[in-house]
Amino acid sequence: MSHTPIGINERPELKRWIPLSFQHVFAMFGATVLVPLLTGLNPSTALFTAGIGTLIYIVITKGKVPAFLGSSFAFIGPIIAISAGFGVEYAMGAAFITGLFYCLVALIITKTGISWLDKVLPPVVIGSVIMVIGLNLAPVAMNQSMYDAAGNYSLSHVLIAAVTLGIAVVSSLILRGFFTVIPILISIIGGYLFTLLMGSMFESFQLIEFSSVQSANWFGLTVFQAPKFAVVPVVTFLIVSLATMAEHLGDIMVAGKVVGKDFYKDPGLHRTLAGDGVATAFASLFGGPPNTTYGENIGVMAISKVYSVWVIGGAAVIAAVLSFIPKVGAIIQTIPGPVMGGVSMMLFGIIASAGIRTVVESGVDYACKRNLTISSVILVVGIGGGQLLFPITEGLVFDLSGVALATLIGIFLNLLLPKSMNESTD
């Protein structure tokens, strides 16, 4: 790993370029494949759409922003719910519209600037919604950690999840350098090997089956999948996208600080957001999850001081190439549920903690009744399973719940509650 700064437009010599790109692949790999595994999508497709989506992003941002795009965690809940209620093709249709919505907002930003975004999504709303995104997914992690495929409580599942979580915690606290940004990947590998070892000794731990790997081809292509559209999935995704746009603002700001550039000005927030939107729309056409800029890869840049777009582009190509090897996808799909549950316990908690960090670093004052009220309602509605149902036509019911409902209520409260509600609660 190089500690010599490499600028955004510098292209390293090949013998350094390839390993530097692989660093970014390792950083994004665990989180990017985790999303499809949790939502029932294909991990090989996620690698393909992440790789091509990143290349699209680089082109739209004129090669000025070294950012890798991977699977977005904010849409895990909506994808699961919509796939169950409507079908996965409707989730992809909603994702496609969301990508276009990003582009529309990008167009508005070119005309009006970003001050209106600060009014609609202040830190108190953004931070609270991010907390909801993480904590709303907590039951997914716990179910995978405790129950087998038949829904029965399993001590072997609990042990595997505990070991995987332990590896993730130790990796994030003890390891140094580049390894600090890949605790997810390390814990998945560690949990996988532990399951294999225990499975060789005890029948209850035999959760890994390699028959699908043996039957998988060495070469295959990701195929186009026509999305379908319905009002409820589209509205749900659009509301959640308000939170992911806020996440995008933060990632681009942090990336700019790491690199020493103001990406809000050059190439402009309208280009970074449009790049994210087009990549997300593209992903939906192949059955991939929505994309988002990855903090893990920003961490790699901060540690390595390698800011080259060429290196990011190389990582994107590697990810896309891996997607053409079905055996890689088959191996990923053999990862046991409790391993994913164990790593998810920490990962979803980190997402929630990022929300706490947002409100703390933004100086949100919870002695202010207004801020306290907004956060309180968002958290209870989002985590408590708040749901808004009303019929549209016979047999069609509009269902707004979870992160989407909490985000919408938070925005309304922020716009409606008077600024004068700033007295201390003491």
pLDDT, residue 55, reads 96
On the question of pLDDT at 1 being above 50, the answer is: no
pLDDT, residue 380, reads 92
Closest by CA to 97, choosing from 239, 223, 210, is 239
- How many Å separate Cα 18 from the centre of its chain? 25
- Tell me the pLDDT tens digit for each residue of 141-153: 888 888 887 778 8
- Answer whether the bond into residue 267 is a cis peptide, omega within 30°: yes
Please answer whether residues 131 and 377 qualify as being in contact, where contact means their C-beta atoms are separated by less than 8 angstroms.
Answer: no
Average pLDDT, the chain: 82
- Measured at the CA of 92, the angle between CA 90 and CA 93, to 5 degrees, comes to 60
d(CA 240, CA 97): 12
- Domain-embedded: residue 411: no
Percent of the chain with pLDDT over 70: 90
- Domain-embedded: residue 420: no
Q: Where residue 3 falls among pLDDT bands split at 50, 70, 90? A: low
pLDDT, residue 280, reads 94
- Domain-embedded: residue 235: yes
Reading the block at residue 353, the tokens are 């903690």
- Tell me the pLDDT tens digit for each residue of 26-42: 767 767 887 888 888 88
- Domain-embedded: residue 1: no
- Tell me the pLDDT tens digit for each residue of 194-203: 888 888 777 7
pLDDT, residue 355, reads 80
Q: What is the largest CA-CA distance in the chain?
A: 66
- Tell me the pLDDT tens digit for each residue of 365-405: 888 889 999 999 999 988 887 777 666 555 555 666 677 78
Domain count for the chain, please give it. 1
pLDDT, residue 2, reads 43
Task: Write out the DSSP string of 104-117.
Answer: HHHHHHHHH-SHHH
Host domain of residue 110: 14-364
- Domain-embedded: residue 129: yes
7 vs 381, residue with greater confidence: 381
On the question of pLDDT at 61 being above 60, the answer is: yes
CB environment 277-316: b (16+ within 10 A), e (fewer): bbbbbbbbbbbbbbbbbbbbbbbbbbbbebbbbbbbbbbb
d(CA 294, CA 426): 40
- Domain-embedded: residue 413: no
User: Could you give the residue ranges of the DSSP H alpha helices within 292-398?
Assistant: 295-304, 309-323, 326-332, 337-361, 369-383
* Least trusted range by pLDDT, from 38-42, 204-208, 272-276: 204-208
User: Hey, how many other C-beta atoms are within 10 angstroms of the C-beta on 371?
Assistant: 24
- Tell me the pLDDT tens digit for each residue of 314-325: 989 988 988 888
Q: Where residue 274 falls among pLDDT bands split at 50, 70, 90? A: very high
d(CA 73, CA 31): 8
- Domain-embedded: residue 407: no
Percent of the chain with pLDDT over 90: 18
100 vs 349, residue with greater confidence: 100
What is this structure's pTM?
0.73
- Domain-embedded: residue 128: yes
Closest by CA to 414, choosing from 176, 32, 81, 120, is 120
d(CA 125, CA 207): 41
